[in-house]
Structure 1
């Protein structure tokens, strides 16, 4: 694993306004644990030495800084989802706004299927940095690769760091489109379960779910 990949991902998302004021965090699975961005450090100042290696029980394995306050969120997801190799957690503005209404994204657009199902759920609310939040996220992510965190933000998973970042960006894009529809007073026409199955089959053919 190259530490620069985590740093570059965090900086790109910060530049997009997805991780303002040192919010959000990025990690990659590493052996029996994971490497994660640290707590309280501006992404512009992030270096490889500042990244923290953490075991799934929270033991710091390497690094001199404290891990992100959301290390429990990452640990619980990695423990529950062995296929996941990377996690991106953002506070991207439109998706976060939707999460503050505690609403998920229904199948108003076929790109919802990129998250692994026919909707993107919003988790139950829990205080940031807590075990309760981590557990709520795992529930909302069942059968999915992304969810909203109530009154908080977005979590996106991937078999690669690039896939997790791409999905986080797409969730923000979908949230913006959905909010624009609602703001215009329009009722989205939702795709049927059968139509979403067909979309998933198309994505399989294009290799878009890796």
Structure 2
């Protein structure tokens, strides 16, 4: 139990050096038995101890001395609806936030878009943070995907485990920066549906299985 919470804290503390977060913004969780551990609301990651990490059930109840992140709902709903997900990370990284404030989907300007499961990265509709409406919008944007933007808010990714969730968040922020920079020079040339389908097929067997 303590090891899972320690891994969660280490991931949360890695977010700022990775350029994903500042202060207490964002949140991260990891599946545990019939529920999940999640970072507490409003606490600096550097000061977290194992006993600060709430354990949440899928009914929304929690155990522990701290209150869970205000964004627990989209974590809970992703775990409840997608059994392949083992960790969820949400961040307010600068380039993702910039595109999210424009409410842009990210089109297939680069083949690595396929890393997230499709030929685009969607931007979820806006809803106030912590709400059931935001969770519903996030789940719609995450359908058949492992990452999305949240309008006027930030990024959201889901991985098999904490290491993959952190890697996906870093990669999504990098794609947001690349797209932002390319748009400064002109209109990026997009890959076709057939080209992206070929990438998705190749990715299905890519890397260590």
| TM-score above 0.5 | yes
Distance 1:19 1:41 in 2: 13
Stretch moving more, 13-22 or 112-121: 13-22
Q: Which runs of 5+ in 2 are unaligned?
A: none
Runs of 4+ in 1 over 6 A off after TM superposition: none
Gaps (5+ residues) in structure 1?
none
Q: Note if 1:90 corresponds to 2:91.
A: yes
Corresponding residue of 1:32:
34
Shift of 1:93: 0.6
Contact 2:99 2:176 in 1 (8 A): yes
Query: Aligned partners of 1:157 and 1:207: how far apart in 2?
Result: 18
In the other structure, the counterpart of 2:197 is 197
Give 1:11-160 correspondences, 5 Å limit: 11-60=13-62, 62-160=63-161
Task: Give me the whole-angstrom Cα distance separating, in 1, the residues matched to 2:145 and 2:120.
Answer: 9
Could you give the per-residue CA deviations for residues 48-101 of structure 1, whole angstroms, max 9, x where no partner exists? 1111100112101x3210000000110111112121111011111101110000
* SS of residue paired to 1:15: coil
TM-score under structure 1 normalisation?
0.95
**Deviation of residue 33 (structure 1)?**
1.2
Deviation at 1:164, TM superposition (A): 1.0
CA RMSD of aligned residues (A): 1.3
Measure how far apart 1:163 and its partner are: 1.0
Does the aligned pair in 2 maintain the 1:146–1:157 contact within 8 Å? yes
Which secondary structure does the structure 1 equivalent of 2:199 belong to?
Answer: helix
2: distance between equivalents of 1:35 and 1:135? 21
The worse-fitting range, judged by mean Cα deviation, of 4-13 and 14-23 is 14-23
Secondary structure of residue in 1 paired with 2:204: helix
